Structure 1
Amino acid sequence: MRSSRVSARRGPHRRGGRPYLSFFFRAIGLESLNSLWARFKGYAAEPEPKKKVQQKSFWVALQRCGVHLLPSAISLVLITLNLKGYFIGAELAGRPGQTSQDMALLQIVAKIQELLMVASLTAVVVHRVRHDLISGEGVPFGLVAVGSLFNQLSFFWSPGFLGPISSKAKLNATLVTLVLTCGLLAVTAGPAVAVLLLPRQRTWSAGGSTYWINGTANDLWPSEVGLEHYMPELGTVSTSKASCTSANAYTNALCPAGGYSAILNHLSSTWPTWDEWPAHSGNGILIESPQGQMWRYTLVPAVRGNIALDTAAFAAYGPTAWVASRLGADWYGAIFSTPKDGSAVSRYRFYSTMQSTIKTQVPAVRVVCGDPVILKRGERELAFPWIPEFEFASHLLPDGLWQNAQPRQLHTVTFIDGSLDNRTFTRYPRIFSVDLSNLTNTVATTGILFESPWSDEESRKVSGCVVDARWAQGSVFVEYGKPAQASIDSIPKKISLDDPYLGNDVFFPKSGSWRRINVTHDWFQAVNFPLPSEIRDQNLSNATSIEALIMSLNLPLNDSFQIARVEYAITTYFADALARVGSWRILNVTSPMRNNTITPINYNRLNNFETKILRGKESFQRPQVSNESFTEFQMKQTISGYTYLASATTDFLALAVLFLHLLIALGHTVLILVTKRSSGCWDTLPELLAVAQQSSPSETALHNTAVGIYKLATFRQRARLRVSEIDAEHVELQFDADSHPDNLPKVDVFKEYK
């Protein structure tokens, strides 16, 4: 019974027991499943059946194209993710502390994709080799097994490859080009997939909105700053009862002196002594507004002679700091209002850091004072520093040293009004403004005469200072719940380590983008106001605000060489005062303040506000009055986290590798499906060895090669698959050198052979 059953199975339908997807399994390298199926069905004892070289069937062809399916699908996903972009978040899978494990798993997936791509390319190379062996111009012996060798980089400088492409060989240009291309893809597939599959931490554009501030550009960034650019005196219904000309104007953040208390506290509490240079210079000063009219911000300073060329500072422009902080808070609320539907914006809530940024002009100030000189009563001349408009105030000397302590000097200024010789004796430093507008070879917002405490009744040390204030192109940015900060566009992002001072400088004047600021006498008086009794002690009798700042530095009364500290006090205070220009325009100052809440102007949200601000669309209603009375600002929201997004050169090179593989796989698939002709013969090295073993020995082409091949000429020998002249049901590997190809019949691809 058993033998009869087996005999019956050896008829035309002996392969009826093979799996329905047997050709697919073979194409993807799972031929063992077919063997297991045959064993399960009881066909394990059957001998190898005869086989056709090709099948003409769309279904079979479709199965054999399956080797391209999975790697192409993964490549398409990676290409889409990296071109369109996808934000993941602070953690890859939402599991805290598991990112390293997730990265390891992705590396394994990248390796699997590399192997799948190599298998796909192997199918294409073997298809071409099979075609040339059967019906083409033949294949050089060195390339017969190239389907198993092209993915090894060393193959391309081996004799097996160099022989067939040498000058003495008949070049099979199509096959060689295909092998080179697929070899390049096979070698670069691993790195390319890893580059595109492993997400990286970077910033991500996450929406934003347009907002309008009441006032023109000249209102917000005037060339000459006066008291008219601060909160008007509106009486007791305003957000603060203190007007900008009152004795307690320093309590109103919308006035020039609104940050005075913060500056004074910083100088007096942080630096009780000056035995060492202030190590924290450049790290920032926190400026807060007790009543909330201005969003708190960090003022950035740097001290000349310590870590910078100029004593300079820049501040966050008040109106844009308010807009950035308010809209940033709105964005933060919006990310938790959207449903968790898997959309791009729904993942924004998983950010690592966030930042709301507005391009704007920010105030930048530098102050450079000349060396103190001893003046006696009756002397009227004083030298002021020379400050170029678009250069540093200090320059490199020929010996390579920075000229920090002694900046270039202007010609001597003569005070004809008697303001120098009529000074009275005092034991604390004093400040006086000096009009330098008539000087043409320096940039001066205003001049300041700094007078040290008198050493006796007749003499004291005096220093001439130049204040250079500008509107500089930059940005104001806010992280949620944190103080606003400013940046300036012209500050280099990378500084050579050979330039230690430039590494921490903050004043890089750039032609065209740094506009000079002039100030009125009334503005200076409002900044340098007489100290009211509530913040004045007996040591500050009759002192002004700037004089009190300098006194808070605790400078030795007989030491006039601490001039850089004086520059620091004046610079930070002036920068803060200019940051408050136009701040009142963002608020409805005619409404009383309730529970420390200020009513903003133009804060009219549109419908679907949350969706709009997350997608970067206009989220607020435009002002109904003439647009010429308002200035438009664009808040851009950025977040950080793990993302997929092609941006670097390596990303686009990796995309090119995947695109090229897709083109090759698509071309091969189309060719097979259109012709409906496919084959699975000789696509593994053991099968090539089998046909070589079953072929007649080569007497000429492979002479003396049983124990090795030394000559490139041997690898150039052209091989073909032909029907044996002894057995018409047998296919052999023949060489042109042994038998002319026309002497043996070609293989009938639809006939079954042993």
Structure 2
Amino acid sequence: MLLLSYTKPFLEGVGTLSNFLFGVLKFLWKVTNLLFSKIRSFLQQLKHRFYAVRSGPENPKPLFKPSHLSTILCCLLHLLPTLLTIILITLNLGGFFIGRELDGLGRDSVKLGVLQVAAKVHELFIIASLGAVIFHVVRNQLARGEGLPLGLMGVGFSFGSVSFFFSPDFWAGVSVSHPRKKRIIALVVTAGLIAPLVGPTSAVLMIPRELDWAAGGGYLWLNGTENQLWPSKLEKGHSPEDGEVHCIAAGWEDIRDNYQTWAFDASQAVPSFEVPQGLGRKFYARTRQSNAFREETWVFTAHNDVTILQSYMYSIWSSALHYLSKKEPEYLRLRKASTRTATVESDLPAVRVSCSPWTDNSNSRLSLFSFPVLAEYNDNTDHLYEGYQVVNATDVIEREMRANPDSAPESPGFRVLTAGLQLPPFPGQSASLGVIVFTRSKRGTGRGASQACSIDARWAKGKSFIQETKTTIQPVPIYYPRHLTIESEFEGGFSSTSFSPPNDGTWRRVNVTSGWFDQLTPREPPRKRPSDDEDEDDDDDDDSRNQTTLEAVLNTMIWDAPTRETIWEVEFAIGLTIIDGMSRSSCDRDFDAICKESQQNYGSG
């Protein structure tokens, strides 16, 4: 225990001595380093003085070094994107047309991909040009100006990011007092606005788009006044020769032959119908979707006389384009269009048909018929509650039956009987013509079933157009066979099956007379008699009908309509017949001399 008590003070003394000696050595090391650094600094000064005496005083180093190569490269950085931008804007504003595809056949997707890469490179060049301008201003302010806030030192890298303008660095530069602060901030903000728009704008300007390009135009002149070509009242014209139908009924066979196909398409919501052979006008229809009140059927097409002249002028234009491209090479690109459209703005015929439900007249005498009331315009709703206009048409029906005994309901061959009559004035009624359809009853006996239809005809502002798709290269357009279809559309279009015309002067009402309707639906011309070896029953059936052209159309499908309780099929058939006659309302007028050949070549449409 005595030994341990003496050992502890001894060890403490040794530790204290060691710490003292270590502190002394550390102090000596620092003194030695300081001494040597002073000696080294003194020797370096002697060396620099020796070199200064030997070489003379040192010249100041310049901040900017002049270089022609650097100047040219800096100018190219701005000139290349500027020139390319000017070229792209000029081509787009000038409407340069390159054809239906890019240079070379096919692989447009690859070419468009390359153009997208080129648009990105163009964007990078513009961003680099803006950045170079900003860095030039920054260097100039640092070298020769009043300096810049620290937050704006790297603005040349950050101006393309929208988040930079919400950062403390930018707002510190805005808040600082600087003599040229407004100009610098305006430059940065302008570059920041341009940078996000460069990419989309470059792509829009560089990548070609499919557009409609104007390739000529003018006026079509028809022989006649506006009221002669688009009459406000359809009246009976001069009577044709024996055995012939009036020209307004020239299309009834096309309607009869295609009605079943068109009716099936209409039931599937197909809106347009085309005669499969030759030059023709498309028919458009919006059939009723139900038997509810206010549901109607609309049918329209192009004006026949306009389409004949339009197709003729289009053929002349196509031929002229072919020969013009040989003498004027700049017009050659117009022949490369994928689609050519020739449009004529004119009034189009439109017909609205609304029929009442079938009424079985088995136990009553035919006398009163209820015709739906059709409002003239969509703002004329004061008389819609009337619903139907009741007209006594007994004399009309009896006159039709006396004129054609085979059409009596008791006749074995009876199917459909139609009669047109002039509707007397009635409050809120726009329809001027009524058509009565009389057919078999649901039980097949008695006086049959009847249906009353109101006809509202209009001339509406619209356009007809020929659209020809060039799938293959045609070296001589005038020589190859052409199948031209005249399409049409209204300015406003149809919004629904209960559409009513707007009262803005674009839908002119047409007064349809019963005399014109009788001329439109004459007795069906007798068919060619079959040879002796054919069945005589067929011959008797063909000759015994003695039906009108409208009845021939109705007989193709809807003569048994009461068994199916359909209304739209009758409206559709009547609408097709009326609209085709309206489109030919001026067919008995002569064209001028230049168009007589077109009538012979293209027919009546």
TM-score (norm. length: structure 1): 0.60
User: Could you say what secondary structure the match of 1:65 adopts?
Assistant: helix
Aligned residue in 2 for 1:523: 516
Preserved CA contact (<8 Å) 2:353 2:453 = yes
User: Could you say what secondary structure the match of 2:212 adopts?
Assistant: strand
**Please, which runs of 5 or more residues in structure 2 have no aligned partner?**
1-59, 402-407, 469-482, 529-538
Aligned residue in 2 for 1:706: none
Q: Does residue 1:248 correspond to 2:244, yes or no?
A: yes
Aligned residue in 1 for 2:451: 463
TM-score (norm. length: structure 2): 0.74
Aligned counterparts of 1:140 and 1:588: Cα–Cα separation in 2? 82
Q: What is the aligned counterpart of 2:275 among 275, 286, 289?
A: 286
Cα 1:333–1:586 change in 2 (3 A) is farther
Q: Does residue 1:77 correspond to 2:87, yes or no?
A: yes
Preserved CA contact (<8 Å) 1:394 1:408 = no
Letter in 2 for 1:529: P
Aligned counterparts of 2:574 and 2:517: Cα–Cα separation in 1? 12
Normalized per residue, the structure richer in strand is 1
Aligned residue in 2 for 1:716: none
Aligned residue in 1 for 2:535: none
User: Could you say what secondary structure the match of 2:249 adopts?
Assistant: coil
Q: Does residue 1:206 correspond to 2:215, yes or no?
A: yes
Aligned residue in 2 for 1:328: 314
Q: What is the aligned counterpart of 1:571 among 560, 569, 575?
A: 575
Aligned residue in 2 for 1:266: 258
Q: State the percentage of identical aligned residues.
A: 29
Aligned counterparts of 1:559 and 1:570: Cα–Cα separation in 2? 19
The Cα offsets for residues 411-469 of structure 1, whole Å up to 9 and x where unpaired, read as 42234747469954343221111221332321113111111225566432221110111
Preserved CA contact (<8 Å) 2:222 2:592 = no
Q: Which has the higher contact order (CA 8 A, sep 6+)?
A: 1
Preserved CA contact (<8 Å) 1:490 1:509 = no
User: Could you say what secondary structure the match of 1:532 adopts?
Assistant: coil
Within-5 A mapping of 1:88-103: 88-93=98-103, 95-103=104-112
Q: Does residue 1:172 correspond to 2:168, yes or no?
A: no
Q: Does residue 1:304 correspond to 2:293, yes or no?
A: no
State the Cα distance separating 1:563 from its structure 2 match: 2.5
Aligned counterparts of 1:534 and 1:418: Cα–Cα separation in 2? 27
The Cα offsets for residues 203-251 of structure 1, whole Å up to 9 and x where unpaired, read as 22221232311111011001112344xxx7xxxxxxxxxx74543326x
Aligned counterparts of 2:328 and 2:202: Cα–Cα separation in 1? 24
State the Cα distance separating 1:184 from its structure 2 match: 2.2
Cα 1:51–1:84 change in 2 (3 A) is same
Aligned residue in 2 for 1:23: none
Preserved CA contact (<8 Å) 1:380 1:418 = no
User: Could you say what secondary structure the match of 2:98 adopts?
Assistant: strand
Preserved CA contact (<8 Å) 2:230 2:347 = yes
Q: What is the aligned counterpart of 1:538 among 541, 558, 583?
A: 541
Aligned counterparts of 1:484 and 1:506: Cα–Cα separation in 2? 26
Aligned residue in 2 for 1:413: 391
Letter in 2 for 1:582: S
The Cα offsets for residues 374-425 of structure 1, whole Å up to 9 and x where unpaired, read as 3345452221111111239999x9xxxxxxxxx9732422347474699543
User: Could you say what secondary structure the match of 1:358 adopts?
Assistant: strand
Aligned counterparts of 1:594 and 1:65: Cα–Cα separation in 2? 63
Preserved CA contact (<8 Å) 2:344 2:463 = yes
State the Cα distance separating 1:372 from its structure 2 match: 1.9
Preserved CA contact (<8 Å) 1:87 1:344 = no
Aligned residue in 2 for 1:428: 415
The Cα offsets for residues 139-185 of structure 1, whole Å up to 9 and x where unpaired, read as 11121232233234443334432332347999822212211211222
Within-5 A mapping of 1:144-155: 144-155=153-164
Q: What is the aligned counterpart of 2:501 among 505, 509, 517?
A: 509
**Please, which runs of 5 or more residues in structure 1 have no aligned partner?**
1-48, 233-242, 290-294, 398-406, 496-501, 601-754
Aligned counterparts of 2:339 and 2:590: Cα–Cα separation in 1? 27
Aligned counterparts of 1:177 and 1:306: Cα–Cα separation in 2? 65
Preserved CA contact (<8 Å) 2:421 2:434 = yes
Preserved CA contact (<8 Å) 2:123 2:198 = yes
Larger radius of gyration: 2
Preserved CA contact (<8 Å) 1:164 1:170 = no
Preserved CA contact (<8 Å) 1:372 1:560 = no
Cα 1:65–1:590 change in 2 (3 A) is closer
User: Could you say what secondary structure the match of 1:210 adopts?
Assistant: coil
Within-5 A mapping of 1:105-144: 105-144=114-153
State the Cα distance separating 1:538 from its structure 2 match: 1.2
State the Cα distance separating 1:96 from its structure 2 match: 2.4
Preserved CA contact (<8 Å) 2:360 2:449 = yes
Aligned counterparts of 1:65 and 1:594: Cα–Cα separation in 2? 63
The Cα offsets for residues 642-689 of structure 1, whole Å up to 9 and x where unpaired, read as xxxxxxxxxxxxxxxxxxxxxxxxxxxxxxxxxxxxxxxxxxxxxxxx
User: Could you say what secondary structure the match of 1:199 adopts?
Assistant: coil
Aligned residue in 1 for 2:206: 197
Preserved CA contact (<8 Å) 1:319 1:586 = no
Aligned residue in 2 for 1:486: 488
Preserved CA contact (<8 Å) 2:158 2:164 = yes
State the Cα distance separating 1:542 from its structure 2 match: 2.4
Aligned residue in 2 for 1:550: 554
Normalized per residue, the structure richer in helix is 2
User: Could you say what secondary structure the match of 1:107 adopts?
Assistant: helix
Preserved CA contact (<8 Å) 2:558 2:570 = no
Cα 1:519–1:590 change in 2 (3 A) is farther
Aligned counterparts of 2:339 and 2:127: Cα–Cα separation in 1? 40
Q: Does residue 1:374 correspond to 2:360, yes or no?
A: yes
User: Could you say what secondary structure the match of 1:440 adopts?
Assistant: coil
Aligned residue in 1 for 2:371: 384
Cα 1:365–1:558 change in 2 (3 A) is closer
Cα 1:301–1:119 change in 2 (3 A) is same
Aligned counterparts of 2:85 and 2:306: Cα–Cα separation in 1? 44
User: Could you say what secondary structure the match of 2:419 adopts?
Assistant: strand
Aligned counterparts of 2:303 and 2:561: Cα–Cα separation in 1? 36
User: Could you say what secondary structure the match of 1:201 adopts?
Assistant: coil
Number of residue pairs matched? 506
Preserved CA contact (<8 Å) 2:223 2:592 = no
Aligned counterparts of 1:510 and 1:560: Cα–Cα separation in 2? 34
State the Cα distance separating 1:342 from its structure 2 match: 8.9
State the Cα distance separating 1:546 from its structure 2 match: 1.2
Cα 1:408–1:266 change in 2 (3 A) is farther
The Cα offsets for residues 346-373 of structure 1, whole Å up to 9 and x where unpaired, read as 2111111111100001110111111122
Aligned counterparts of 2:596 and 2:328: Cα–Cα separation in 1? 44
Q: What is the aligned counterpart of 2:64 among 53, 64, 74?
A: 53
Stretch moving more, 334-343 or 202-211: 334-343
Q: What is the aligned counterpart of 2:172 among 163, 169, 174?
A: 163
Aligned counterparts of 2:176 and 2:63: Cα–Cα separation in 1? 37
